[in-house]
């Protein structure tokens, strides 16, 4: 195809934000957004929350007419098969190709498969796409029995929705507790207690020997000999980045597509952003991370747009994510494993915020669990303290009457 364009591969949160970002920054050339899913770009968080229970529509990042009005060409339901870096072209499966001026890889991630267990749309499910959520919807009902494999965010959110719909849920986690990765034990145990109170049968510290599906149901045999009978199994054991396209093009891969602080790959004309990329975080001394978080996808999409246009703006700020289960919200900002001590702040409404400090007293992470929005403001302020490299007084952090804003002013 003749005219060189800004090409974005992957029409998820990151890709869509990047496409609009290019227009918002005044780019007037061709912008092409290519995605293998047939839907307009949509938000994934509702898939494991409200969408499973009450609506058939995905929550779109933007309606079709917005793409049209700013001249973003959408190529949906098509996978990019290869990149030719020499000729600066990308090739679709059916032989169509596009020439790029700059290319953004926003290919996201896919569910980590349980060995030997493929989704079959009947008894075995994973949850990543709108199609996955639609397939699961009918099972969120009274008298259904669901075995959830994995005590991470997706498994726990799904367990909450299923219980709220009246289904029986057994949640199996091989590690000694739920949310081992990235959530402090005290908050994870509060969440677990709530799940148990809601009737979820939580089984931690036990592996799975086999999962057998048959027309009438599924049997999960645990390593401790326990047998769980269910109508369906939903596997939520993490995600793996979609890096094959980048790898085949000779780009550097290491737990994601390796990029620098400007989201640039080892090829200066190719950037990568969102769930698929591994990038350095300057506030942690350039430590490399790959994040699977909605806000990161949004922010990196917009940053990638700026840098596709040559602005050279570095990644900044701290990682942040949230999870909703029942009426509880969990939020984590920063990197917990950078911390050596933790200070707790008990809110009057029962919420708990933890501040995580490095050996030198620098605030490196904050986490919290509370109802509704109760912890949001403090976590937001903690994020600012983290970004400012603050060394706040632990006694003030622990005191719920002491204002974090004043600590920020002092930072």
Q: 302 exposed, middle or buried (CB, 10 Å; 0-12, 13-18, 19+)? A: buried
Structure token pair of residue 104: 């953004």
The nearer residue to ligand FAD, 33 or 390, going by C-beta atoms, is 33
- Written in H, E and C, the secondary structure of 270-338 is EEECHHHEEEEEHHHCCEEECCCCHHHHHHHHHHHHHHHCCCCCCCCCCCEEEEEECCEEEEEEECHHH
Give me the least distance between CB of 321 and ligand FAD, in Å please.
4
Instruction: Give Cβ neighbours of residue 116 (< 8 Å, ≥ 6 apart).
Output: none
Q: 169 exposed, middle or buried (CB, 10 Å; 0-12, 13-18, 19+)? A: buried
Give me the least distance between CB of 340 and ligand FAD, in Å please.
26
Q: Give the β-pairing of 168-173 and 201-204.
A: parallel
Give me the least distance between CB of 212 and ligand FAD, in Å please.
26
The nearer residue to ligand FAD, 108 or 150, going by C-beta atoms, is 108
H or E element, residue 192: helix 185-197
Give me the least distance between CB of 222 and ligand FAD, in Å please.
25
Q: Which residues pair with 326 in a beta bridge?
A: none
The nearer residue to ligand FAD, 10 or 392, going by C-beta atoms, is 10
Residue 293 CA to residue 313 CA, distance in Å, equals: 20
List of residues contacting ligand FAD (CB under 6 A): 9-15, 34-37, 44-45, 47-48, 79-80, 106-109, 127-128, 154, 242, 245, 274-275, 292-295, 297, 321-323
The nearer residue to ligand FAD, 23 or 44, going by C-beta atoms, is 44
The nearer residue to ligand FAD, 230 or 276, going by C-beta atoms, is 276
Residue 211 CA to residue 114 CA, distance in Å, equals: 10
Give me the least distance between CB of 75 and ligand FAD, in Å please.
9
The nearer residue to ligand FAD, 97 or 398, going by C-beta atoms, is 97
- DSSP class of residue 373 equals T
The nearer residue to ligand FAD, 9 or 302, going by C-beta atoms, is 9
Give me the least distance between CB of 4 and ligand FAD, in Å please.
19
Give me the least distance between CB of 135 and ligand FAD, in Å please.
13
């Amino acid at each position: 195809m003749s005219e060189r364009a800004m090409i974005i591969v992957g029409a998820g949160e990151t890709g869509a934000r990047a496409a609009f970002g290019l227009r918002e920054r005044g780019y007037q050339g061709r912008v092409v957004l290519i995605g293998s899913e047939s839907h307009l770009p949509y938000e994934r968080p509702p898939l494991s929350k409200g969408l499973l229970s009450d609506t058939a529509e995905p929550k779109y990042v933007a309606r079709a007419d917005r793409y049209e009005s700013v001249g973003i060409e959408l190529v949906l339901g098509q996978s990019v098969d290869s990149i030719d870096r020499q000729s600066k072209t990308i090739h679709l499966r059916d032989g169509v190709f596009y020439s790029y001026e700059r290319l953004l890889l926003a290919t996201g991630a896919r569910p980590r498969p349980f060995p030997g267990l493929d989704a079959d749309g009947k008894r075995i499910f994973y949850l990543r796409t709108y199609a996955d959520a639609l397939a699961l919807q009918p099972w969120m009902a009274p008298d259904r029995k669901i075995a959830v494999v994995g005590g991470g965010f997706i498994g726990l959110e799904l367990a909450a929705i299923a219980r709220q719909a009246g289904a029986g849920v057994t949640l199996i986690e091989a590690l000694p507790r739920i949310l081992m990765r990235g959530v402090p034990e005290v908050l994870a145990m509060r969440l677990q207690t709530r799940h148990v109170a809601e009737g979820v049968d939580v089984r931690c510290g036990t592996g799975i020997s086999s999962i057998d599906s048959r027309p009438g149901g599924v049997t999960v045999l645990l390593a401790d000999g326990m047998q769980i009978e269910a109508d369906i199994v939903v596997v939520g054991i993490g995600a793996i980045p979609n890096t094959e396209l980048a790898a085949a093009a000779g780009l550097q891969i290491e737990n994601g597509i390796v990029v620098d602080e400007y989201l640039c790959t080892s090829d200066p004309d190719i950037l990568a952003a969102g769930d698929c990329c591994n990038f350095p975080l300057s506030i942690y001394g350039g430590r490399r991370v790959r994040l699977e978080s909605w806000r990161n996808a949004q922010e990196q999409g917009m940053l990638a747009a700026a840098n596709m246009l040559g602005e050279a703006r570095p990644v900044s700020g701290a990682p942040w994510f949230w999870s909703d289960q029942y009426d509880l919200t969990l939020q984590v900002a920063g990197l917990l494993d950078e911390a050596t001590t933790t200070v707790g702040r008990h809110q009057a409404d029962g919420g708990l915020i933890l501040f995580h400090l490095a050996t030198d007293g620098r605030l490196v992470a904050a986490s919290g669990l509370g109802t509704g929005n109760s912890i949001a403001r403090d976590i937001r302020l903690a994020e600012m303290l983290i970004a400012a490299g603050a060394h706040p007084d632990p006694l003030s952090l622990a005191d719920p009457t002491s204002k974090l804003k004043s600590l920020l002013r002092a930072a």
